[in-house]
Structure 1
Amino acid sequence: MNLLLVNYGTSNIRSIYNSLKKIKKINIKINDFKFNKYDKIILPGQGHIKHCMKFINENLELKNLIKNKCVLGICIGYHLLFDNSYENKLTKCLSIINDKITKICNNCCYNNFVPNIGWKPVKILKQHDIFKGIPNEFNQYFMHSYSSIFKNQKFSYSISNFNKIKFNSTVIFKNKILLQFHPEKSGYYGLKIIQNFLNL
């Protein structure tokens, strides 16, 4: 299997790289966008949306690969596939998924402030092979301030809560698997999800 791991220049890819090496013997290439025989792509978490989109827009081969290949997007990698993000006012994204990324809470009355950091429950709404061997409710590690708000969209496969707001913790659209949590930092079930992605 040939896998492209994207480094936007600001992300720490060591955790996801080490997780991949633990799970399966695969050929991992980092930022080799000329190679076009990839089976899968991983867009890792951590980074600023404007910088990440600038990086993608400056690499048209990468942009085409993201549109055409099976993708796992983690945290900021999830946000990149939406129409736009309201992080830093407004950033135009890849528009693979027709919805927006917004701040998950702007209300001080819940005694909670963004960002959402730590181990939080993930509740599966619809079954998919990405959840093979995973219980209907499980904990994963989150670190974010923005997300897609749950509105019972067709692409919603799991939800989580922050400040009494439900957001989409797993989005699946065609061959795009998007996770708001960090599976590479989330122990057994996180590694299982990465393994399931590689087996799709």
Structure 2
Amino acid sequence: KSEITKYYGVKPERISVVYNAWQQMQRIAPDERIFAKVPQLRRGQYYFSMANLLKNKNFPWVLRAARNKPDTVFAIAGGGSLAAEAKRLGLADLPNVVYLGYVSDGEAKALMHHCKAFLFPTLYEGFGIPPLEAVACGAPRIYVSDTPCMREVYGDCAGYIDLKTNHGYVDDVTPPKRDAAELLARYSWHKSAQALLDVLTQTAN
């Protein structure tokens, strides 16, 4: 909203925001077989993130965090040549990094539920739905980049990564997520649909 106002000169009162939601995760059964397929992953003892090669996803930050925590496994899901990119960055030889490739929705749900924390160090995001899905799946902690968008969406439910000063450090003393039920109640597809209907009705009138 603030960027539309800034770059296009649209008055804030003329902009309506319709948020994403998380209820699609309720229909997905967790696929626990992922832990048999990837024995390096022990429930509750790994960090989980979802990555690709888009610059805004900030994949290198996760690798630097893994380098700084050599005794903890970092599980990274996502397609593309992530391992090749790690090699290009000089961060290929990290034995505690597990590249999962594409994972199914069920596997992702199991990985989110059992992770030590879900990491989302994005440089730029319009909403950032994966951490919300992680909370819905029972992730005990989420760490997101410290941006206005993330602050607006996640409030006190997240630990925040200041990307200007934090170049790969996960603070394990941050308390577990707070107000998870309140956070989840704030976002629903029913509310999103109603908000969109309200905008269309007001526009038609």
TM range (shorter): 0.3 to 0.5
Higher strand share: 1
Rg larger for: 2
Q: Larger RCO: Structure 1 or Structure 2 (Cα < 8 Å, ≥ 6 residues apart)?
A: 2
TM-score by length of 2: 0.32
TM-score, length-scaled by structure 1 = 0.32
